[in-house]
Amino acid sequence: MDFPNWFEITAKKNFEQFLKPFKGEPDLQFLQLGAYTGDATAWLLENILTDSTSHLTDVDTWEGSDEEAHKVLDFNAVEERYDDKTRKFANLTKFKGTTLKWLKATPFDYYDFIYVDADHTAVGVLLDAELSWLALKPGGVLAFDDYEWQSGKGSDYEPKPGINIFLHRHANELINILHDTQVWVVKK
């Protein structure tokens, strides 16, 4: 089955630009909330987290959501594709479950980079953002995908309002480095 490579379409150029300073550095901790077929995962592990002491954790339910694009996908096949793409990497943890469960157990100031691309509802994104902010180290990068994405069901079902609330609440604690279809910030 063919799956869209949303990473290549929407995020890769930003990963290349903003994560370049991390390339090959030791002892990095990266987190992805939402991993889909593992396109971003493989790219991060092949291009940025190349030191054996650096690590990536992917959190996903591999159940999809009620988004129209997900209704036609077989998420067992999506997860199989992820597993096929990522099984060769020793410095990867796959957590099959909710972002809330993972983030509640994460220590403060732990991650160098967190990519938020899981629950696309306003409340879900806001919750992921707030818990991620606690888990992000000072100087770490937090990135949101799908800032302009529209569900067709109203703003409660879209990331933008949740991201905007987060940005407003933490305006004095972050540096905004990108604000277009994605939002990328650095924690002061």
Each residue's pLDDT tens digit, 67-90: 655 556 788 999 999 999 999 999
State the amino acid at position 113 in one-letter form: F
Assess if residue 61 is contained within a domain: yes
Assess if residue 13 is contained within a domain: no
Query: Looking at residue 98, what is its pLDDT?
Result: 96
Query: Looking at residue 70, what is its pLDDT?
Result: 56
Give the span between the Cα atoms of 132 and 100, in whole angstroms.
10
Query: Looking at residue 54, what is its pLDDT?
Result: 98
Give the span between the Cα atoms of 34 and 62, in whole angstroms.
8
Assess if residue 2 is contained within a domain: no
For residue 124, what are the domain limits? 26-187
Residues with Cβ within 8 Å of residue 98, at least 6 apart in sequence: 59, 61
Q: How many domains in the chain? A: 1
Assess if residue 49 is contained within a domain: yes
CA 94 to chain centre: 13
Domain with residue 77: its CATH number is: 3.40.50.150
Query: Looking at residue 71, what is its pLDDT?
Result: 59
> What is the DSSP secondary structure assignment for residue 22, as one 8-state letter?
G
Q: Which residues of the chain have pLDDT under 50?
A: none
Give the span between the Cα atoms of 158 and 149, in whole angstroms.
7
pLDDT in tens, 87-97: 999 999 999 99
The pTM for the full model equals: 0.95
Exposure b/e, 77-106, CB count within 10 A at least 16 = b: ebbebbeebbeebebbebbeebbbebbeeb
Assess if residue 1 is contained within a domain: no
Assess if residue 137 is contained within a domain: yes
Assess if residue 18 is contained within a domain: no
Angle in degrees, 0-180, between the axes of helices 159-169 and 122-135, rounded to the nearest 10: 40
Assess if residue 9 is contained within a domain: no
